[in-house]
Chain A
Amino acid sequence: MNFFTLFDLPETLDVDKAKLSATYQILQQLTHPDKFSTGSDQEKRIALQKNSQVNDGYSVLKNPLARAQHLLSLRGVDVKDEQHTMQDTAFLMQQMEWREALEDAQNDEDALWQFHTDVTQTIKSEYSHLSELFNEEADVTILANALRKLTFMYKFQEQVQQHLDKFED
């Protein structure tokens, strides 16, 4: 299932969010099972299937990481649930540094916020880099490695967020 086609969007990493949201509204009106509550069983069944795809597609396309994974899977590489060991030594070193830094900062709210800002910034620049790679039709192995790095960063950002949540209570 190509969600970009379903939502009538070009196959690019950056999407027009306003158009995505507007299209979602239209697709809901056309496919929600409630619109077929007086229809035949067949109509209800097809609506249920189609509407499930619409909901799934919307949740994938509005989430930057899930969208990148979907776009790459359309190029034939599925990195979502893979068990893959990175060969990039420089990146592995950076991961270790980040993990150690998080360990040190975990009880310092200001330091955690600073960390969060830094990680968010890095994700942003890596994401636009990946976007360019997609636009340049780069080789899928290059795309896959860039996306694996991003996946790690998103996971790491989540961990920082979890440490920050502790200060909320």
Chain B
Amino acid sequence: MALLQIAEPGQAAAPHQRKLAVGIDLGTTNSLVATVRSGVSETLADSDGEHLLPSVVHYAQDTTVVGLAAEQVAAQKPKDTIVSVKRFLGRSLADIQATWPNLPYAFVADEDQPNNIQLAVAGKIKTPVEVSSEILQVLKQRAEETLGDELTGAVITVPAYFDDAQRQSTKDAAQLAGLNVLRLLNEPTAAAIAYGLDSGQEGLIAVYDLGGGTFDISILRLHKGVFEVLATGGNSALGGDDFDHAIVDLWSQRWGLTDAANKTYYRELVTLAKATKQTLSAVANVHQECVLGDITYDASLSITEFNAAVQPLVQKTIKACRRSLKDAEVSADEILAVVMVGGSTRVPLVREQVSEFFGRPALTAIDPDKVVAIGAATQADILAGNKPDADMLLLDVLPLSLGLETMGGLVEKVIGRNTTIPVAKAQEFTTFKDGQTAMMVHVLQGERELVEDCRSLAKFTLTGIPPMAAGAAHIRVTFQVDADGLLSVTAMEKSSGVQAEIQVKPSFGLAEEQISSMLKASMTNAKDDMQQRMLKEQQVEAARVLEALNSALQDSGDKLLSPAELTALRDTMQTLEKAAQGTDTQAIKDAIKLVDNASQDFATRRMDFSIQQALAGKTVDTI
């Protein structure tokens, strides 16, 4: 049940004005959803009071189960239960098989798109994007039930090192789950926001993230509201689970368990080890027994013994920290704050050693399992427009360079890594044969020089180039990267005035129509609902367009438009107003397009005018 909120007059936005927005941490092991309520960012629990949703999806013939229930059947039905699907997002089959050769899943190759993997589960074919969207749907539903209304939008977090294909897949999964993505946010940046490190401070921040199965270290620079990721490092096969295994090994040795016994009781032993590890975060000694078959063993453990067992693992993470500092070309004493993320950072030895390495106490006040989701919710609240006066602005940088294949299998960089985004860059190419009418454009991401060492994002052919002598055609390839770090590429031949243009989406991502058809398919039982929903969406968009335009016109319509332009624009607005009152979805869409075209120049002039005004104001101030 949603509780009524009581706020002092003027302190909070009226309930109907407040937009519901959430932050979602789509994690490898667990996922969470958080929102800002009464000025506090907090994670939301399910009906059992659980905040963490295990990132596990189980497919049966007729049903799909997500979370704890899926985790519980994972051992019996490994093939139909997808654990840690995040590892597969935006990856090719070759990548996955090289990294995890022993996965129990039935991967299916997609003939048309070799880079797009699929999984055969319970007689169905699912992509990692679809599996991820199941998790996101559960979180969306949880948020809507808790908050009592539909969500305006969501901020989804991604690891800082995610490339374009992985980011695109994450966004596709969110859209497929029916979420309006306000922004993709880097996980370490989200953690830093949760601690309020964005306000007023300048300097270097280390984010140490030790989860169940992965370890990430990121070095960020905060400068004038810009979070720049200087370096990321870690180990995708090191985490808290290894701590549990270390305890099991210790016991087996002490008790003289045979390999066979060890294997038979492994699950029970791991479960007990995990519980013991968690208890040792608070007390110095655990006294307990463990019954295996008909033998009772002494399973007591002291913190000293535990520390000795996991010390080599913690040292590995410290080594990775050292390497990342070197990559970032900074030293440990330059770090202003160390943020702890991930459940395994509760282990006292981890906290001690990390604090010691960086020479300052690590920040642990916020629950390390929730800190990323909490930071994402803070950002979502701002992006939804609930804090119109907030001047926090997160500027992100491109995590990996973008480039094009040139002759000889080499990559020519078009946009370098660490460039502030959004960014648009154009590069000109020419034909190398007389009469050449087509040109292959191959888009790559990565730092290496050879095509084979970089990630292939998209390949397309620009056709219809007028036949000319070699070198006479001018092909302009434009890269546009948006605030989420997502890329679109346009190519055009311009020398003869004949223009050919093509828009591509990375081959890993889903086309817009694919997403909407998948959305439709998931709602086949509710066809009317779907149509209702599309109509409502268009009506909401129409209202948004008209409202924005009306207030813009009131503000500067007379100044920036001629009377004739004003009349023409008003005509299209009336058409839209009329269409929006009807139930013809397509008519509303068309009318929006009409208004959009008619107001394009006005909107551009307004932006330029606001810049002129602001800069003129500044000049007066500084004189």
- State the A residues within 8 Å of B (CB): 6, 8, 19, 21-23, 25-35, 37-43, 46-53, 55-56, 58-59, 81
Q: 9 shortest A-B CB distances, which residue pairs?
A: A52-B424, A38-B385, A37-B383, A8-B615, A33-B483, A40-B545, A52-B422, A55-B420, A40-B548
**Which residue of the partner chain, among A6, A19, A47, A55, contacts B421 with CB atoms under 8 Å?**
A55
Asked if B393 and A34 make an inter-chain contact with CB atoms under 8 angstroms apart, the answer reads yes
Tell me which of B153, B421, B483, B600 has the highest count of chain A C-beta atoms within 10 A of its own C-beta: B483
Closest beta carbon of chain A to B295's beta carbon, Å:
55
Asked if B603 and A46 make an inter-chain contact with CB atoms under 8 angstroms apart, the answer reads yes
Further 14 A-B residue pairs, CB within 8 A, beyond A30-B614, A32-B393, A47-B607: A21-B224, A26-B618, A29-B393, A31-B607, A37-B183, A38-B152, A41-B596, A42-B545, A46-B600, A49-B424, A50-B611, A52-B423, A52-B480, A59-B420
Q: Assuming the A-B contacts A40-B545, A59-B420, A81-B428, are A31 and B603 also in contact, with contact meaning beta carbons closer than 8 angstroms in the complex? A: no
Closest to B392 in A: A34
Closest beta carbon of chain A to B201's beta carbon, Å:
16
Q: Assuming the A-B contacts A34-B394, A48-B482, A52-B424, are A39 and B548 also in contact, with contact meaning beta carbons closer than 8 angstroms in the complex? A: yes
Question: A-facing mask of B411-454, CB < 8 A → 1, else 0?
Answer: 00000000111111100100000000000000000000000000
Q: Give the docked Cα–Cα distance between A90 and B384 (Å).
A: 62
Closest to A169 in B: B326
Asked if B224 and A8 make an inter-chain contact with CB atoms under 8 angstroms apart, the answer reads no
Q: Which A residues are in CB contact (< 8 Å) with B384?
A: 37-38
Q: Give the docked Cα–Cα distance between A22 and B604 (Å).
A: 23
Question: A-facing mask of B611-622, CB < 8 A → 1, else 0?
Answer: 100110011001
- Interface presence of B76 (CB below 8 A): no
Q: Assuming the A-B contacts A29-B393, A50-B607, A52-B480, are A8 and B619 also in contact, with contact meaning beta carbons closer than 8 angstroms in the complex? A: yes
Asked if B611 and A30 make an inter-chain contact with CB atoms under 8 angstroms apart, the answer reads yes
Which B residues between 533 and 548 are near A, CB-CB below 8 angstroms?
Answer: 541, 544-545, 548
Asked if A28 and B599 make an inter-chain contact with CB atoms under 8 angstroms apart, the answer reads no
Asked if A56 and B607 make an inter-chain contact with CB atoms under 8 angstroms apart, the answer reads no
- Interface presence of B610 (CB below 8 A): yes
Q: Which B residues are in CB contact (< 8 Å) with A29?
A: 391, 393
- Interface presence of B73 (CB below 8 A): no
**Which residue of the partner chain, among A33, A37, A48, contacts B153 with CB atoms under 8 Å?**
A37
Closest beta carbon of chain B to A111's beta carbon, Å:
23
Asked if B615 and A23 make an inter-chain contact with CB atoms under 8 angstroms apart, the answer reads yes
Closest to B595 in A: A42
Closest beta carbon of chain A to B348's beta carbon, Å:
35
Closest beta carbon of chain A to B592's beta carbon, Å:
8
Q: Give the docked Cα–Cα distance between A48 and B384 (Å).
A: 18
Closest beta carbon of chain B to A114's beta carbon, Å:
23
Q: Which B residues are in CB contact (< 8 Å) with A19?
A: 622
**Which residue of the partner chain, among B382, B422, B610, contacts A30 with CB atoms under 8 Å?**
B610
Closest to B549 in A: A40
Asked if A34 and B383 make an inter-chain contact with CB atoms under 8 angstroms apart, the answer reads yes
Report 26 cross-chain contacts, Cβ distance below 8 Å, ordered by A residue. A6-B611, A8-B615, A8-B619, A22-B618, A23-B615, A23-B618, A26-B615, A27-B611, A28-B225, A28-B395, A32-B393, A32-B395, A33-B422, A33-B483, A34-B394, A37-B384, A37-B385, A38-B19, A39-B548, A40-B548, A42-B599, A46-B600, A52-B480, A53-B424, A56-B424, A58-B420
Q: Give the docked Cα–Cα distance between A165 and B578 (Å).
A: 67
Q: Which A residues are in CB contact (< 8 Å) with B423?
A: 52, 55-56
- Interface presence of B222 (CB below 8 A): no
Q: Which A residues are in CB contact (< 8 Å) with B229?
A: none
**Which residue of the partner chain, among A40, A46, A52, contacts B604 with CB atoms under 8 Å?**
A46
Q: Which A residues are in CB contact (< 8 Å) with B619?
A: 8
Q: Which B residues are in CB contact (< 8 Å) with A53?
A: 424
Q: Which B residues are in CB contact (< 8 Å) with A21?
A: 224
Q: Give the docked Cα–Cα distance between A27 and B615 (Å).
A: 9
Closest beta carbon of chain B to A3's beta carbon, Å:
13
Tell me which of B183, B394, B422, B596 has the highest count of chain A C-beta atoms within 10 A of its own C-beta: B422
Closest beta carbon of chain A to B184's beta carbon, Å:
12
Which B residues between 88 and 110 are near A, CB-CB below 8 angstroms?
Answer: none
Asked if A34 and B183 make an inter-chain contact with CB atoms under 8 angstroms apart, the answer reads yes
Closest beta carbon of chain B to A20's beta carbon, Å:
12
Asked if B385 and A32 make an inter-chain contact with CB atoms under 8 angstroms apart, the answer reads no
Q: Give the docked Cα–Cα distance between A28 and B240 (Å).
A: 41
Closest beta carbon of chain A to B595's beta carbon, Å:
9
Q: Give the docked Cα–Cα distance between A55 and B289 (Å).
A: 63
Q: Give the docked Cα–Cα distance between A70 and B448 (Å).
A: 28
Q: Assuming the A-B contacts A29-B393, A33-B483, A50-B607, are A42 and B615 also in contact, with contact meaning beta carbons closer than 8 angstroms in the complex? A: no
Closest to B420 in A: A55
Asked if B611 and A48 make an inter-chain contact with CB atoms under 8 angstroms apart, the answer reads no
Closest to A33 in B: B483
Closest to A32 in B: B393
Closest to A49 in B: B424
Q: Which A residues are in CB contact (< 8 Å) with B395?
A: 28, 32
Question: A-facing mask of B476-506, CB < 8 A → 1, else 0?
Answer: 0000101100000000000000000000000
Q: Assuming the A-B contacts A28-B395, A29-B391, A48-B422, are A42 and B596 also in contact, with contact meaning beta carbons closer than 8 angstroms in the complex? A: yes
